[in-house]
Structure 1
Amino acid sequence: MNPAFAAAGASIRAVSALSPRAGAAIAMPLFASVAKPRPVHDDDAATMSQARRRTVRIPGVDRRGVEVVTYEWGRGPRTVVLSHGWLGRASQFSRLVRELVAEQYRVVAFDGPAHGESGGRQMYLVDWLDVYADLQQRHGAFEAMIGHSFGGLATLVAVAGGTDAARVVTISSLADADELLRQFQRMVGYSDAVTVRLRERFAARYFPGDPDPFAWLSAVRRPLPAGVPLLITHDERDRFVPFGESVRIRSANPDATFLPTTGLGHNRILGADVVLDAVLEHLESPVGAPAGVLERPAATVEPGIPVDQPATPVPV
């Protein structure tokens, strides 16, 4: 935890001892803030340099507008959309991009607000949904959507809400927005009473008039539509998003294919051969093919794949 975040956490705990409502007011902007974007890894730079770049303007957290940078590779008729997670960026998918382009897919990714090359300093899950809407209008129905971590939750919420995608893949995904609040509480160390107030404040700030936005910001309470094949993969030793989150996702989507791994962590899993192979097989398998639990692979560490880095919980 960086010093500024630690100091803010101490303030939240001190104030919330007197007033949980006041503590939640202090916590709210911290919950919505994004740290400095990670740099592009050297091994990813060549892939990113080959992308066709475009800028999309979406409303953003403050509804004043924010510029989001999108990237496109390949010119095939089948479009696959990639969604990074909190403190991530599109470049993390470079190995997967190369694999998909080789298979004649058109691949589209983006840097969410306050991430990578995009503008802004805050973000929430609806930003991802706004980007998907723009991409769908431009490219039509998606062959597949693939999301990592927070991006996995955004992908599940989007397709459950009507985004047209034939298949879905989640990697190290959260199961619902409530887990973000739980992670933030564990990190800062405030009381359950503050969490309740923060939840209320968050809903009122970003979803005015919606009596329970957390009901639809959930892959558990709102599973994918019937007939949309889902591949779930997650490492049992993930230090940032509990493995149990993907277990919860599968419980709500019992026809999903589940690939657990051991030793790949939260980020290295993105470039592991066993995961890349499973993704490509999932995209090519016929709709209605038998699902289940794939054989658990041994851990592999691919060169050039970033190791896990501490992540700050995110706003939805």
Structure 2
Amino acid sequence: MKAQLLRRFVHTVVGAMAPSTGARWATDVFSSTRTLGLHPDNVLPLGADRFTVIGSPDVANGFLWGDGRATEGTALLVHGWAADSSSMHSLVPPLRDLGFRVAAFDGPAHGVRDGDQATMTQYTRAVGAVLDTLGDVRVVVAHSLGGIAAIGAAVERAGRPLDCVVLVAPACTLGGVLDRWEGGGLRLTPAVVQGIYGELHRRNGVPVSHWDIVGLGASFDRPVLVMHDPADPMVPYSDAEAVAAGLKDATLVSKPGTGHMGILMSKDVGAAVSAFVTEHRHRNRNRNRNRQGIV
């Protein structure tokens, strides 16, 4: 508590004397990827092989369960902010049981990657590089802020053979996350908050308002399953409602009692993912066959 009070005091002084410095400091804290204290050893998860990611300066490799002989293509798991790929491992078995090979990776400055700060631009480009590297991704399952990066990257690759997307406890906008942020022990005056918006714009190359699942996904026509705990203490249920209402073909399913991280480990959620993927992989492939005149 004393350390937090001292940090707040120092930041207040710095913010008053040098507002731009105070804003940069606060943006560093907001952009931290290590708030959960995670920095795992760089070891292969059980049953996985490494694959090299082409085209990303921030993510050199990822993990792959299964091989090119998988009958259904690839399912990609995208973790949330300040977590890492291990948070998604419980979804590997149900997707493997459906015949997919399953891929996951640690995002920029997350997990085994170097660094402790990242931007949404870096994360979205990393997801895109993984999609390009793997080539045959049919399913994407993304958690929390990873959903923004996943939708952003998928929309830029509209011609790829993606069947469906699952968003688990999605944060709808980066601006909403910033508005709810308590400051990590810093004093967030209106001037500092405005400075954070400006600094994030500078670092990302686009304004904070750009990072909006509904805005990014306006043209996205693949089926989307949205699952969220109404009592999630980290991301409000209203974000999931906004995502489901704003995307063209989205279904919202409530998963009470699962929490923000626990929802990933729920057997009921794993079963819901399997059922949704099974339904839409067949429907979409039959639709594509009909478009090509194949009977």
Could you state the TM-score of these two structures normalised by the residue count of structure 1?
A: 0.76
Q: CA deviation at 1:142?
A: 1.8
Partner of 1:192: 190
Q: Distance in 1 between matches of 2:218 and 2:65?
A: 27
Further displaced range: 218-227 or 265-274: 218-227
Q: CA deviation at 1:151?
A: 1.0
Secondary structure (helix, strand or coil) at the match of 2:50 reads strand
- What percent identity do the matched residue pairs reach? 26
Q: Distance in 1 between matches of 2:171 and 2:11?
A: 25
| Structure 1: segments with no counterpart, 5+ residues | 60-64, 290-316
Contact kept? 1:34, 1:121, Cα under 8 Å: yes
Q: CA deviation at 1:279?
A: 0.7
Q: Distance in 1 between matches of 2:32 and 2:60?
A: 17
| CA 3–154 in structure 1, closer or farther in 2 if over 3 Å, else same | farther
Matching residue within 87, 90, 98 for 1:95: 90
| CA 222–115 in structure 1, closer or farther in 2 if over 3 Å, else same | closer
Partner of 1:24: 23
Contact kept? 2:64, 2:104, Cα under 8 Å: yes
Q: CA deviation at 1:239?
A: 1.1
Q: Distance in 1 between matches of 2:251 and 2:138?
A: 17
Partner of 1:144: 139
Further displaced range: 16-25 or 213-222: 16-25
Further displaced range: 147-156 or 216-225: 216-225
Contact kept? 2:54, 2:130, Cα under 8 Å: no
After superposition, the C-alpha distances for 1:138-180 in whole angstroms (9 at most, x for unaligned) are 3224211111111122112222333633211111111111123
Matches for 1:86-125 after TM superposition, within 5 Å: 86-125=81-120
Task: Quote the RMSD (CA, aligned, Å).
Answer: 2.8
Q: CA deviation at 1:114?
A: 2.4
The answer on 1:285 being equivalent to 2:279 is yes
Partner of 2:38: 37
The answer on 1:159 being equivalent to 2:151 is no
Matching residue within 62, 71, 78 for 2:63: 71
Contact kept? 1:174, 1:245, Cα under 8 Å: yes
| CA 202–58 in structure 1, closer or farther in 2 if over 3 Å, else same | farther
What letter corresponds to residue 97 of structure 2 in structure 1? A
Contact kept? 1:169, 1:279, Cα under 8 Å: yes
Q: CA deviation at 1:23?
A: 2.4
Runs of 4 or more above 4 Å deviation: 2-7, 17-20
After superposition, the C-alpha distances for 1:234-263 in whole angstroms (9 at most, x for unaligned) are 111111112211111112125311111211
The answer on 1:240 being equivalent to 2:234 is yes
Q: Distance in 2 between matches of 1:133 and 1:140?
A: 10
Matching residue within 268, 271, 277 for 1:274: 268
| CA 67–252 in structure 1, closer or farther in 2 if over 3 Å, else same | closer
Secondary structure (helix, strand or coil) at the match of 1:225 reads coil
Q: CA deviation at 1:266?
A: 0.5
Contact kept? 1:69, 1:117, Cα under 8 Å: no
Partner of 2:245: 251
Q: CA deviation at 1:57?
A: 6.8
Contact kept? 2:108, 2:126, Cα under 8 Å: no
Matching residue within 73, 80, 84 for 2:79: 84
What letter corresponds to residue 283 of structure 1 in structure 2? V
Q: Distance in 2 between matches of 1:244 and 1:151?
A: 17
Q: Distance in 2 between matches of 1:3 and 1:39?
A: 29
Secondary structure (helix, strand or coil) at the match of 1:153 reads helix
Partner of 1:128: 123
What letter corresponds to residue 31 of structure 2 in structure 1? A
- Equivalenced residue count is 274
Partner of 2:47: 50
Q: CA deviation at 1:96?
A: 0.9
Q: CA deviation at 1:52?
A: 0.6
What letter corresponds to residue 12 of structure 1 in structure 2? H
Could you state the TM-score of these two structures normalised by the residue count of structure 2?
A: 0.81
Partner of 1:230: 224
Q: Distance in 2 between matches of 1:166 and 1:5?
A: 47
Q: Distance in 1 between matches of 2:209 and 2:263?
A: 29
| CA 71–229 in structure 1, closer or farther in 2 if over 3 Å, else same | same
Partner of 2:174: 177
| CA 8–55 in structure 1, closer or farther in 2 if over 3 Å, else same | farther
Q: CA deviation at 1:120?
A: 2.5
